Amino acid sequence: MAHDARQHFETQLSALVEKFTRRREEYTRADYSELQARIDFIDPFFEALGWDVRNTQHASERARDVVVESGATRGRPDYNFRLNGQTQFFVEAKAPHVALESSKVILQAKRYAFNETSQTVILAAATDFEEFRLYEVRDISYLRQVNKGRVFAYRYDEYLMPRALDDLWKLSRESVAAGSLDALVSAATRRARERVSLDQQFLSDLADWRERLAKAIFKNHPELDARDLNSVVQVFLDRLIFIRVAEDRGVLPEGQLIEIARHWRQSEQSKPITAELLPLFRSVNRARNGEIFKPHKCEELGWDSAIVAAIIDDGLEPYNFAQIGVELLGSIYERYLGKTIRVTATRAIVEDKPEVRKAGGVYYTPKHIVDYIVAQTVGKWIEGKTPKQIEKLRVLDPACGSGSFLLGAYQTLLDYHTRYFAERADQRGGGGNGGQQLLLREPRAQYGEFKLTLEQKGEILRNNIFGVDIDPQAVEITMMSL
């Protein structure tokens, strides 16, 4: 059976190589799109490897072998290959005219593996069929060094060589199920067995950014007391992170922040980086009208431009916030809130808060407990109710911390509203919502999915969700997460 599957793969691959070779000039033209390359070559390539790319078995979203994203989807890998619902590796697809060896393409593929929350997923590939490149990613250093972690790279005219066939076959469904991915990664990775977890890496980076910003700003503004220093650093950092999250999730135009950092470097640092950052902050405030971007003391200070640029392009850029769930961000921030900036006569020091030292560490409520409490309270209350009735609900967390309970309650309300209107739309054969423009079809229309609009989500948030905390930093973070 295994021999037959391997033979089938080699036969199919040979036919694809012959087809590409015969009309290579046509396939490498700029007007030959990524979508067409996926249909003509990349989908058949992985189907020959035994993956059900087109979901011919009609498996549910959670059970399907391959999660395929449309070309219009931002921040998600084109292919997510899974076994029993667990991701095994990612693939980023490109059109053949795109230079696959470019740092942008390689880093895009690597980011998917780096931002996967499972510690065991370390492989990502980039392919346009003309070439196939596979990389392993164990920690953030693999993104900061473009060629680090390359497992193999083959061109189409090398695919049928014995070594290439062996390597490519290790990505077949049959081989992956038998544990072949271990044979592809380095000995060091096999010994480590798990990569550095995403939450550990981001928490470490957050702490580093806060300390660098605090020390630099205190050096320039020694008149700041501990309260003001904590506030300006937190708000400034929150703004940078908020913009990156909004960019990755399609709420704000992509690449604004990184472009500011690059422009500052290219302009020989003639002006402080805040000369371009502050107009962006004000633009976001006008568009989103959120508390985080309202006029604040942080806008009046002289930030170290080199540190800010490094946080943007070397620090934040590797993270893909379209992949990172708000629950994970909340757990990271819960631990982050356990530290504070203390001011001495000569310097700023980041240390554990007194209450954290006394308690022996930060306590974070596990997600399964949050889910249970929310299900037994908010979930029970909204059962059988209409959106009009739910408008009267007020969910208050009087000690919200980083917002884990409020996030859970908010997600429950979003899910309920989406199901409510989607079911009624289905009953009407996909027609209107009884005069209520409450839902938009997802771009992936073939799956028949629905989502609430951004405006509707905001209305539910403002109407139903409330939080209070003695720590203003906690309130700031909760607002950002929501």
pLDDT, tens digit, for every residue of 341-354? 777 767 777 776 76
Check residue 257 and give its pLDDT.
93
> Are 325 and 389 members of one domain?
no
> Are 232 and 156 members of one domain?
no
CA distance 237 to 315: 12
CA distance 372 to 328: 17
Check residue 439 and give its pLDDT.
43
Q: What is the mean pLDDT of residues 436-457?
A: 54
Domain of 138, in residue numbers: 2-192
Check residue 452 and give its pLDDT.
80
Q: How high is the mean pLDDT of the chain?
A: 84
Check residue 345 and give its pLDDT.
66
Domain end point (choices 192, 215, 231): 192
Does the pLDDT value for residue 56 go beyond 90?
A: no
> Are 324 and 380 members of one domain?
no
Over the stretch 115-145, which tens digit does the pLDDT of each residue have? 887 767 789 999 999 999 999 988 888 888 8
Tokens of 425: 């739309």
Among candidates 91, 94, 47, which has minimal Cα distance to 68? 91
Check residue 130 and give its pLDDT.
97
> Are 304 and 347 members of one domain?
yes
Q: What is the mean pLDDT of residues 150-177?
A: 95
> Are 14 and 156 members of one domain?
yes
CA distance 299 to 320: 27
Domain end point (choices 144, 166, 192): 192
Does the pLDDT value for residue 251 go beyond 90?
A: no
Residue type, position 432, single letter: G
Angle at CA 479, nearest 5°, toward 478 and 482? 85
Q: Residue 437: pLDDT band by 50, 70, 90 thresholds?
A: very low
Over the stretch 265-313, which tens digit does the pLDDT of each residue have? 888 777 899 999 999 999 988 887 677 888 889 999 989 999 999 999 8
Number of domains, the chain: 3
Does the pLDDT value for residue 197 go beyond 50?
A: yes
Q: Please give the distance of CA 364 from its chain centroid, rounded to a whole number.
A: 22
DSSP helix/strand/coil, 382: helix
> Are 7 and 21 members of one domain?
yes
> Are 212 and 111 members of one domain?
no
Say if CB 394 and CB 461 are below 8 A apart.
no
Q: What is the mean pLDDT of residues 87-113?
A: 91
Q: Helix H segments across 49-195?
A: 103-114, 141-144, 162-169, 173-177, 181-184, 187-192
> Are 184 and 229 members of one domain?
no
Which tops the pLDDT comparison, 302 or 433? Answer: 302
Domain end point (choices 172, 192, 212): 192
| Phi–psi pair at 161, nearest 5 degrees | -70, 145
State the CATH number of the domain containing residue 43. Answer: 3.90.1570
Does the pLDDT value for residue 205 go beyond 70?
A: yes
| Total-model pTM | 0.70
Check residue 169 and give its pLDDT.
96
- In angstroms, what CA-CA distances link 443 with 144, 251, 450? 33, 15, 9
> Are 154 and 287 members of one domain?
no
Query: What are 350's strand-pairing partners?
Result: 341
Say if CB 218 and CB 343 are below 8 A apart.
yes
Does the pLDDT value for residue 189 go beyond 60?
A: no
Tokens of 166: 């062996």
> Are 26 and 107 members of one domain?
yes
Tokens of 356: 């954290």
Q: Residue 61: pLDDT band by 50, 70, 90 thresholds?
A: confident
Check residue 400 and give its pLDDT.
86
> Are 338 and 379 members of one domain?
no
CA distance 74 to 72: 6
> Are 387 and 353 members of one domain?
no
Q: Residue 195: pLDDT band by 50, 70, 90 thresholds?
A: low
Question: What is the 3-class SS of 66-106, one letter each residue?
Answer: EEECCCCCCCCCCEEEEECCEEEEEEEECCCCCCCCCHHHH
